[in-house]
Amino acid sequence: MEKYIIPHNFSVTKKRRSALKNHVAFLIWFTGLSGSGKSTIANELEKALFEKEIHTYLLDGDNVRKGLNNNLSFSPEDRSENIRRIAEVANLMIDAGLVVIASFVSPYKEDRENVKRIVGYDNFVEVFVNTPIEECERRDVKGLYAKARAGEIKNFTGINAPYEAPTVPDVEIDTTMVSVEEAVALILSAINRRFKM
């Protein structure tokens, strides 16, 4: 079938959409354990970008799993498919001219590599929220660590499923050392250096 799928060349291009919006489009990918602070920092980052009149969209684990990916489990295969679909959605949004912020545990290195391949290495900024697991578990924002420890949740990252840490993230944040405001400032300066925005 695939040989009969021939993409059309449309006249309004990514470049033209970006020019209209006055900024480049790319993806900021947050990875880290549950409760590490990804969504909290992503939310403040989106607010800061919005105030600078940058067009954004935030994709977050729970909202995507309630809709687009509501047929997927937390098995390694389904986690990979979850991340692949998110990357394809992010890729469309980049094409639409948006700065996309994605907040997903995304524990497997290979899945994150796949995201980079899909959106393109030049469009990808990796933020590793490296909060120690003891602190994530102490926070236990959603009560999930307690449930995982009690054996009620299988495949819970950090407890009974692995987390493969990025080796060279663009930004690394330990939220026991860095405040939310400082984390946002670090990310903004990294994207300013990369994209001159």
Active site residues: 106
Nearer to ligand ADP, 38 or 55 (CB): 38
The distance of closest approach from Cβ of residue 98 to ligand ADP in the complex, given in angstroms and rounded to an integer, is 20
Q: How far is CA 154 from CA 34, 60, 120, 132, 165, in A?
A: 14, 21, 33, 21, 20
The closest residue (CB) to ligand ADP is: 37
Q: Which two tokens stand for residue 166?
A: 């990025």
Nearer to ligand ADP, 41 or 159 (CB): 41
The distance of closest approach from Cβ of residue 109 to ligand ADP in the complex, given in angstroms and rounded to an integer, is 18
The distance of closest approach from Cβ of residue 37 to ligand ADP in the complex, given in angstroms and rounded to an integer, is 3
User: How far is it, in rounded angstroms, from Cα 154 to Cα 47?
Assistant: 35
End-to-end CA distance of the chain: 42
- Distant-in-sequence, close-in-space partners of 63: CB < 8 Å, separation ≥ 6: none
Nearer to ligand ADP, 37 or 107 (CB): 37
Write out the residues near ligand ADP by the rule CB under 6 A.
32, 34-41, 103, 129, 139, 141, 175, 178-180, 183
